[in-house]
Chains A and B, each alone.
Chain A
Amino acid sequence: MAYVALADRGQILSHPHSFITKYIWSQDHKVIAIQYGITAISVGVVALVLSAMMRLQLGFPDTFSLIAPDEYYQFVTMHGMIMVIYLLTALFLGGFGNYLIPLMIGARDMVFPYLNMLSYWVYLLSVIILMASFFVVGGPTGAGWTLYPPQAILFGTPGAEWGILLMLISLAVFIVAFTMGGLNYVTTVLQARTRGMTLMRMPLSVWGIFTATVLGLLAFPALLVSAIMMTLDRLLGTSFFMPAIVSMGEQTNYGGGSPVLFQHLFWFFGHPEVYIVALPAFGIVSDLLSTHARKNIFGYRMMVWAIILIGGLSFIVWAHHMYVSGMNPYFGFFFATTTLIIAVPTAIKVYNWVLTLWRGNIHLRVPMLFAIGFIFTFVHGGLTGIFLGNVVVDLPLSDTYFVVAHFHMVMGVSPILVVFGAIYHWYPKITGRMFNETMGKFHFWLTFLGTYSIYLPMHYLGFLGVPRRYYAYEGIEFIPESALQLNSGITIAALFVAVVQILFFVNMIWSLFYGKKAEGNPWGATTLEWQTPQTPPIHGNWGDELPEVHRWAYDYSVPGEAIDFIPQNVPANDNPEAHRT
């Protein structure tokens, strides 16, 4: 069978012409990616504003009385859930996954374009449902992003009227959207790679996004199961999770259910979720480092294996979030062990990033700054994770600000730095314009140093035992005055970081109109997305013929070559020995 047909098979692209079919009901993966991206970043801004409100309350409890205790719970919950699911998951997979997969593997589009379009609109629906909960009676749920029963659905918790239901429904709708998208990403990688694009020639970005999608497809059902069962408990009075309980002085009709069962289901999703966010970041950062250091990625095979290994292991560490839940203590031993084991491939990745930089020809452009910043924050958050993975250390630190500091470093700041780096990196391809370099550098330094000054001090608060999810700390005996002052400092840093993001938005919008026109491959990168005939790529991505791939994705600074990169689609020359490194 003629081979080229494989990637092109069944892909009859209709080129739409009206504005609506081109930019709104579009089936083009690039347009869908941008729709996903803009929506995710917009809800992300909502979550950022919520965190600023919380910080104002924590830092200056007497000066500002913007929010009430109830609202604090609601804001914590919405902030956490939006950041993790509706921003990061949607942006990495729906945004970058959609944009990069077909371009990087040399396909014309996703294999199911219609499903892909549907995926975005269903995602938008889930966002709308979530946002609607701000406007219903009782407001959004204040159960914490972990939504633990029994309190999540009992009256007395803010949002027990409608908020919790809207949250559960929105999550279910999100999962439907994710599944539609995820089927697309996985099938596209499996079936639509162009000729010569073997698995081991795929850029690490694709590996990361691909593996994360597989994790998501297998793990999100756990969230769906818990959402369905909790909805039944709340609406129809079943007792899957609800024990016999007295609520507001009255015996409820619940009985016999198990809150720990919920925690198992939730974290069976929750831990892989960390890697759903982290693996795409790992992949993308590898490509940024390699491209801007003009050096092949150190240990490509080990990087791939580490991604795959982390993917598998991430399903057997979930109960390290449950050391204090009252589960069988022997489980703690098992899960602490698996948690330490998963740190090994993760550490290998870090070594390889650093070794990629070693004696590289480092260009400190904006994407590179963000990538290097990521290495710092990720190592930092990763190390505190090893502390928390051990039962004896976790018990006193659990539910303190040490945990808040840990997860913000590892899955808040680190992926966000990669998001920024990646947006700057691919901005010329997406828009056809260059961004403003100086403004980008300011954005990096202020964000990087700013977030550090938010989260570094939080570790000390954690050591003091300052509990998380608290509205106010005045008059608590063991919390010294100095901790409250530290809180004010953290708040100032947080507000500063929030305001600085304006630089990013201004840069993006200004450059869209006034930026210098970008060439097709401004960074001198090897991967296929930079080799498209047009910039930005048009519908269908490639000209009449799909590119053919002749080499791996990291032929940078090959000895004996005149230029310091060889794109993947450049055939071998007469003397193939010359390329070998």
Chain B
Amino acid sequence: MSTIVFFIFIMVGLSYWWLWRQKVLEQPWVTEGTDIDLRDDIAQISPTAKTGLIIFLAVVTSLFSLFISAYFMRMSLNDWLSVDEPLFLWLNTALLVLASISIQWCAGAARNSNIRTVRYTLLATGVFTGAFIWGQLLAWQDLNAAGHYLQSNPANAFFYLLTGLHGLHLLGGLWVWSRTTLRVMAGVNTDQVKLSVQLCRTYWHYLLAVWIVLFGILLST
């Protein structure tokens, strides 16, 4: 459980730090009026959708931390047999990196109101992500063909489970991506999709980071 406890410590630490900055030490009964509202000074308050996404990502991180905790605890029991991950997982990783790069590019283009680049990079993101998911499915097939079934060993089971879950999160991202893409194709201007593109960017980078952590753990054990 150390992984999840570590994650919770970070979350609790961050929240306490934030609360402290929000003046939870002040004595509310001696102040009057509205001028003590800190948020007056904060010129840019992030859009609610962004805050919502960040909180959602904290929830997803909790989920993956718990799976990783379970992974390590199950690994310490004596029937664990390491899996040899198919080599082309490296290729898949490269595809996901490309997806991240193109969505980053896309966000930049959206900021500069360059709708053509937005269109191309958005499509590229979708293609790379789709290719990544396809590649993961091939990896499953490979393992299955080599006789590493889900039931045969907990290491295999975790491999399918973790990659599957990560893939599902990407599919969810693709759903939002497809709605954004449809809007871009329908010819809206960049201002109307800027926020969506930014949210996609955060989500894609996040899932890339999750994949790198998962891949690292799968490879090293």
Interface residues, chain A, CB within 8 Å of chain B? Answer: 1, 3, 6, 9-10, 111-112, 179, 182-184, 186-187, 190-193, 195-201, 214, 217-219, 221-222, 224-225, 228-229, 232, 236-240, 253, 255-258, 261, 264-265, 268, 296, 300-301, 304-305, 308, 311-312, 315-316, 548-552, 554-555, 571-572, 576, 579-581
Contact = CB atoms under 8 A, between A and B. Distances in A.
Interface residues of B, number: 54
Nearest to A261: B73
Contacts of B55: 183, 186-187, 217
Interface string B29-46: 111111011111001010
Contacts of A10: 47-48
A199 B24 contact: yes
B51 interface: yes
Interface string B1-42: 100110010011001100100111111111111101111100
A184 B51 CA distance: 10
Nearest to A7: B39
Given A187-B51, A268-B66, A198 B5 contact: no
A187 B29 contact: no
Contacts of A201: 28
A232 B160 CA distance: 11
Nearest to B1: A264
Interface string B154-181: 1001000100000000000000000000
Given A10-B47, A222-B66, A258-B73, 16 more contacts: A3-B40, A111-B52, A112-B52, A190-B51, A218-B58, A222-B4, A232-B157, A253-B151, A256-B78, A257-B74, A265-B70, A550-B33, A550-B34, A554-B29, A572-B32, A572-B33
Given A187-B55, A217-B62, A304 B70 contact: no
B56 interface: yes
B51 A315 contact: no
B36 to A, nearest CB: 6
Nearest to B59: A217
A221 B23 CA distance: 30
Contacts of A193: 39
A261 B70 CA distance: 7
A214 B15 contact: yes
Contact of B23 (A200, A217, A237): A200
Contacts of A572: 32-33
A552 B43 contact: no
B16 A312 contact: yes
Nearest to A570: B32
A565 B190 CA distance: 52
Interface of B: 1, 4-5, 8, 11-12, 15-16, 19, 22-34, 36-40, 43, 45, 47-48, 51-52, 55-56, 58-59, 62-63, 66-67, 69-70, 73-74, 77-80, 150-151, 154, 157, 161
A478 B170 CA distance: 59
Contacts of B150: 232, 236-238
B33 A221 contact: no
Contact of A6 (B26, B29, B39, B74): B39
B70 A229 contact: yes
B70 to A, nearest CB: 6
Contact of B67 (A192, A225, A301, A580): A225
A185 to B, nearest CB: 10
Contacts of B45: 6, 191
A187 B52 contact: yes
A239 B156 CA distance: 11
Given A201-B28, A551-B32, A218 B59 contact: yes
A200 B157 CA distance: 48
Contacts of B73: 258, 261, 264
